Structure formats: C-alpha cells, structure tokens
Amino acid sequence: MKPVSLPSLATIALAIAALPSVAPGQAVPPQLSAPVSVAQNPLAGTQPLLSFNTVVETRIRPQTGRLLEQLAAGGRTTNLDGIPVFNGSDKFLTGKIAIGYAEFIEALPANDPSLPRHLADFGKIAKMTIDDPNDSWGIYYYLVALKKLKKAGYINRAVDRLSLAKLRVRLDWRTFMDRDTLELIDHPNNYKCVAFAIARLRAELGWDSWDEADRIYSTLGQHYNAYSGFGFADETDGEGRFDRYSVLLAGEIANHFVQSGVQPTDEVKGWLRKSADVMLMRINAKGEGWEYGRSIGPYGETAIVETLTAAASSGVLTQTETDMAYAYATIVANRYINFWLDPTTGSVNLWDKGRRTDAYRGKFRIFGENLSLAHQFSYTNAVWNSLGYKDRAPIPDFEARLAQRSKQATTWFKRGEYDRLLFTRRDRSHTFGLPLINGGRSQHMNNPYFPMPFARGIVESMADGKTPQLVPRFTLANDDVLMPLAFFKNIQVSTREHTTSVTTGQDELNKMGTPAPIKDDRLHVTTRFDFHDGEVSRTDVYTPKAPINLKKIELEFAGFSQVVAQQGNTITLGQGAATEFKVEGLDNCTAENINDLPDYRSDTGAMTSLIRCQSGPKSLEKPFSITWRLKYN
C-alpha cells in the first residue's frame, strides 16, 4: 500500500492542546467535527457524505492516533473512559495495538519528522507487552503489523532482535490449533480461518513453509462441505449455528489471499459470491448492518463492508453491484464516526447510553475495539482506493437502484435431518431477516438466535438476552422450560399474490437451562410466518404428545415505538416504525412505555416499549394455537 498524505501527530497535538486537561494515563477524547446526518437517509440529506477515504484519513486515523499517543505516554497506567487498558481481560489487545501503530506509521510520509518517534513508541510498547497474553486474532493482527513494517523497510527500526525472536515463537497458529490433527482448541470454527491467515503471514515473513497454510485451507473446505453443502460455514460441528460469521468467513478467506497478492481459488470465489448475495440483500441507505446473532453492533455493519469489499476485489460482483457496495461502505463509514464514536469519550460506544453487547465484547475491551474497528475501515478503504474509488462520491441513485433489486431471498444453509435457512424480505426501507437455525452450545437460549423476523428499528434482540422476545416460553408444572428454538424440519417458502409464507415443524422443542440444546418431544409444533406489505405474523399450532400440566406461557415484544392505546390483546403503537401488535391464543397482555431498562437494550439503543403476554396454569390435552401480528409503517 502506498503511503497517503496525513497531518503529523505534531500537528494533531495542537488540536489536542485545546481540549480539557486530563489525568495522566487517561485517553484524550478526539475532537469530532459536526456530525453528518445519517439517521434517515444520508444520501438525500442536507449535508453531503464524506468520501470513504476522507473518513478514514481525516477522522478515524487521527482518532486512533490520539489514543496511541496517549498509550505511548501513559503505558500501563493508561485508561479509556475509566477502563484500564491493560486490565488483563482482552486476549487480543497486543495485536490490536500493533496493527493500530503499524497502520498509522504506514500512512505517514517517509520524511515526516514524527516518524522516528512513532517507530520508537512501537518498539517500546512491543517490549512492554511481549509477555502479555495474545490469542488468535491478536496473533493475526500482530503479524499483519509486522508485514506492513517489513514492507515499508521499518521492521528493524521498530522491533529489536530479541523481541522479534520472541514474536516469531509466540505468533503461531499452533497456540490454538493442534499442529497434527488441525483441530481447534476451545475455539469456534471460524477460527480455522484465523489460523489459515496466520499460517499465510508466517510464510510471507519467511518463518514457515506454505505447506502449513495449504493444510489448514484444506480443513476449511472440508468443514464447509461436511456441515453445510451450500457454501456457508457452520460455527459448530453440525449443530446449525449459521450467523454473520458464517457469511463473513468467505470474505475473510478471500481477503487473506488478496493480502498475499494472489487471487482466491475458484472454490473460495464460489463461496464469496453466495455470501455477497446475502450481504447485498442487506445494504441500505441508513448504514444499518447484520441483524441477528452475537457480536453485531458496528461489526454487523463492517461485516457487510468486508464481505462486499472482498467480493469487489475478487471480481465476483457486477459493476452495478460494485458501485452499490462502495456506496454502502461510504454510508457505514459516515455512520461510524457520527453514531458509534462518542465525542465525549473519544471512543467507540458499544456499551453505554442504552446500548448493549455480549459478554465476549465487554467494556473491558474498549481500547482494543477502537483499534480493530479502525483496522477494518483502514484495510477495506485501501482496497477501494486500489479499485479506483479513492475520494469518490457514492452513486447518487443508490436508493433507486436498491428499489430495483429483488425484494426477497431464501438462503439455504443446510438440509437434512434438520433444515437451516435464512429468509430475507425487503419492505420499503425495512429489511427483515428470519433465521431458522440453531444457536447451538452457549447460544441456543439467547434471543439473538431466536427464530423471529429481525428488522432494524422494529424487531431486535438483546445481546445475551434470555427474554421470550416473540417466541413463546412454556413453563411446566415441574418447572421444566420449553421453547421452539432449534429443531426445524421441512421448511417451505411459498409466495401467493402479495404474501410470502415460511412454514416449518418441530417434533422436539428445546429444553432450556443447559449450555447445549436438549430435545424434548412432549410438545410438537407447526409454525407459519406470513410476510405482507406492512405486516408480519407468526402462527404456532402446538400438539401435546400426552397431557401436560402447565404453569404458564409467556411471550414478549420489546420495541422502539410508544404504547398509545390498548384494547384487549391489541396494542396500538406510535412514534416509531411499529404501529400495532396483536396476540391471539394467550389470556392477557400488558403494555407499558419503558426507559432504558438493562434487560431491554439492543446493540444500537434502548427499547422504548414492552408488551408482555401470558396464560396461566392449565392442562394441555389437545392442539392449541398462538398467533401474533405486528404492523409497521
């Protein structure tokens, strides 16, 4: 990558000097200019979008540069928004720091007077963190950093010989993958891709042969074929966890080839084309991202950007698709600096002011999250620059082209004993994603993996949330809890006139309370989702295998509108996209407006209304149905 012109940190320091004073080790909030409006439609807004490259060079890179400056000054005493940077809980941190420094250094002109100081700071932090834990992604980031420094001719100025020798031993995929069997050690299957990337980088640095990378790539292909067959990766060994990682993975694999200066294999391009189709269904004029599963928030947006960037650079997109992908990437970049970055802390915000993320991305990772997100924008921007899009404005007819694309798509992940798919439907400015999958061990009980029609601003989940969001929860007289979550069979998708129906059945419900899903056949269910213009509904018909004594049934809907009125089990909503919620088959519903309750926060913000419906004790002896209908504007 060619160095780009960027103000030196000496210049940036003048801006920092105007900020309020802070305690030693406290990261300095960056000055952020007036926000670009992206709340409704940034392409039609009164203030023009900054180009992708402008966002990266003038907003994101200086923001991370300021954080790194403070880190170099404060060392292990540095904290960000009250969180100690070196708290021992972020196992990727040292690698993220390395890639943050390397990308900042890479962007400096060779004659920049601050360059020697930044190289010295890199070496100082490298020595300070050489014995800190650094796992998987952290290893990958560190190797990318070393490759950049080596390519620029700076590696010997940035890292002393002893530190480099230690890094050669420790930056190894064998720390989390068995060298002989190539089985992962306590990591989800998407980490096979991380191991693959590490092996390629070690080969590029001359530390290993390319044979190791080829071996790992072979296991990736075997996993794709063994547990899907449709070109997507199950995060588990066959349980059926297909989420954003399952779709993003092809983009990551392709990018690792591109990073090495070669085109991906035809097999990878085939996976990538299918992933691109899924992501193209989700691009939108608000910059909103992937809608379900764990670790979304800004990563749900960059996942789409990363996948489509890889697809563009690998030549699997049409010119129109490439233009639309770049437009979306630009919108996402503007949304990042104006929505996700908090000017009062100088940090990305995934955790506060009504937002919530899962335990995996707890606030203990705050410093590293800034650096890894900055890296994702930096490297994808470099690809778009290489494709001729540097400083280019997005296409002005982006929304018009969106309107011409398919309104719905069915993406099969797996067929067999259990079916797994993702149904996507566009309705005006809304995109619904209905995942009929299995969260598997550790995730089956969390509502980000529930079978419900997710749509940003209408139907969302709560990270690690256990509430019965739009899925009935049965508590039996003996306190066993059953939910229809994981064991889908005979999924059918059909369209008639203006309605599309998705139907399925489950011979076993999911018995809750354990890390892994447990099949329980005391209740059977057939389910139909109906998607109309402006309305989505779900109807379940439950059949008890034998009479069951029931303590209660619960169903909730937490959303972003306000409760206006209630008549029976029909609730009128206003001041938001959802306009009405109606339930049949349960005894009663209560509705209230809420204000930032911890259990009802999404990744983007707090829910504002809560509807709870339930039925009391009874004996279940014959088939019965439960239906909910949701209308939206």
Residue pLDDT, tens place only, 219-272: 988 888 888 889 999 989 899 999 999 999 999 999 999 888 889 999 999 999
What's the mean pLDDT in 299-307? 98
What's the mean pLDDT in 63-88? 95
Q: What percent of the chain has pLDDT over 90?
A: 88
pTM over 0.85: yes
Band of residue 190 on the pLDDT scale cut at 50, 70, 90: confident
Which pLDDT value is given to residue 225? 85
Which H or E run contains 615?
A: strand 609-615
Which pLDDT value is given to residue 8? 32
Band of residue 47 on the pLDDT scale cut at 50, 70, 90: low
Please say if the pLDDT value at position 472 is more than 80: yes
Band of residue 16 on the pLDDT scale cut at 50, 70, 90: very low
Which pLDDT value is given to residue 31? 37
Please say if the pLDDT value at position 194 is more than 90: yes
> Which position has the token pair 């299957």?
189
Which pLDDT value is given to residue 45? 46
Q: Alpha carbon 170 to chain centroid distance?
A: 28
Please say if the pLDDT value at position 205 is more than 90: yes
- CA distance linking residue 17 with residue 21, whole number of Å: 8
Residues 96-109 as b or e (16 or more Cβ within 10 Å = b): bbbbbbbbbbbbbe
Q: In what order do the strands lie in the sheet with 430-436?
A: 408-414, 420-427, 430-436
Q: Which of 253, 257, 251 is CA-nearest to residue 299?
A: 251
- In the three-class reduction of DSSP (H, G, I as helix; E, B as strand; rest coil), residue 24 is classed as coil
CB 349 within 8 A of CB 366: no
Which pLDDT value is given to residue 428? 87
Band of residue 10 on the pLDDT scale cut at 50, 70, 90: very low
CB 583 within 8 A of CB 628: yes
Please say if the pLDDT value at position 517 is more than 70: yes
* Position with higher pLDDT, 221 vs 525: 525
CB 523 within 8 A of CB 507: no
- CA distance linking residue 243 with residue 54, whole number of Å: 31
Which pLDDT value is given to residue 39? 33
Q: Is 553 left (phi over 0), alpha (psi -120 to 50) or beta?
A: beta
Which pLDDT value is given to residue 384? 98
- CA distance linking residue 405 with residue 381, whole number of Å: 25
Amino acid at 219: T
Please say if the pLDDT value at position 535 is more than 80: yes
Please say if the pLDDT value at position 28 is more than 90: no
What's the mean pLDDT in 271-287? 97
Band of residue 42 on the pLDDT scale cut at 50, 70, 90: very low
Q: Strand 624-632 vs strand 499-506: parallel, antiparallel, or unpaired?
A: unpaired
For Cα atoms 103, 105, 109, give the angle at the middle one, nearest 5 degrees. Answer: 120
Q: Is 277 left (phi over 0), alpha (psi -120 to 50) or beta?
A: alpha
- CA distance linking residue 178 with residue 166, whole number of Å: 20
Band of residue 19 on the pLDDT scale cut at 50, 70, 90: very low
Please say if the pLDDT value at position 34 is more than 80: no
- CA distance linking residue 122 with residue 102, whole number of Å: 8
Which pLDDT value is given to residue 46? 45
* pLDDT tens column, 377-429: 999 999 999 999 999 999 999 999 999 999 999 999 999 999 999 999 999 89
Q: Which of 453, 488, 455, 492 is CA-nearest to residue 470?
A: 453
